[in-house]
Amino acid sequence: MLKALNIEFEKAVRLLSKHMPVSDEKTRKPILFHDIRVGVYLYEHGYSQEIILGGLLHDTLEFSEITEQMLRDEFGDQITKLVLASTKDDSIEDKEEKTKELINRCVQNGQDALIVKTADILDSFKYYTATNSTGEIEYCMRNARAIFHFMPAEFNDKIFAELKPWMEECV
């Protein structure tokens, strides 16, 4: 299992490296490194292969030329489902509504999808706090508030407890 996971992780990193745009000084945050950190966080915390790869690939549909079909062909339906759940709907212009729709969609797709999104927000909190990006910290807060608002009581994973202090610290 471990060797197979490592091979799939590397396969995903190679796909991201090939199709993700190159970051520069104008980039909000270096996206490839962010995606790798999210995947590594999930890997190091013992999550399933699907959650790890979903976390690693969570930004592919938003920020790269990778298509849903490419994801499905390379990584299967379950990982594609997690990535789709974590992908913002840019047709929604209102920031609050976009966030609510995204987090609600994660909840509807199950705890694994919300874990992926929470790992994304945790890494973003850490990065934007370190770079003192006030506007982006507000984006993280909006997502964290929505996670705790929409999360069902039966969703009980250690990652949600790890998110709470970040939210409280940035208030």
- What is 67-84 written as a DSSP string? -HHHHHHHHHHHHHHHHH
Q: Spell out the residues 6+ positions from residue 45 whose beta carbon is closer than 8 angstroms to its own.
A: 158, 159
**Structural domain count of the chain:** 1
Supply the range of the domain harboring residue 59. Answer: 2-19+28-169
The Cα–Cα gap between 89 and 127 comes to 23
Q: Identify the CATH number of the domain in which residue 109 sits.
A: 1.10.3210.10
pLDDT for 26 beyond 80: no
pLDDT for 94 beyond 80: yes
Residue type, 152: P
Sign for the pseudo-dihedral over CA of 142, 145, 150, 155: positive
pLDDT of residue 39: 98
Per-residue pLDDT band for 23 (boundaries 50, 70, 90) equals: confident
Tell me the CA distances in angstroms from 9 to 42, 74, 97, 131, one per residue in order: 11, 12, 33, 28
pLDDT of residue 91: 96
pLDDT for 88 beyond 80: yes
What is the average pLDDT score of the chain?
95
Range 78-85 average pLDDT: 98
pLDDT of residue 1: 66
Instruction: List, for residues 27-74, the tens digit of each pLDDT value.
Output: 788 999 999 999 999 999 999 999 999 999 999 999 999 999 999 999
Q: Spell out the residues 6+ positions from residue 28 whose beta carbon is closer than 8 angstroms to its own.
A: 133, 136
Could you tell me if 45 and 26 are in contact, meaning their C-beta atoms sit under 8 angstroms apart?
no
pLDDT of residue 161: 96
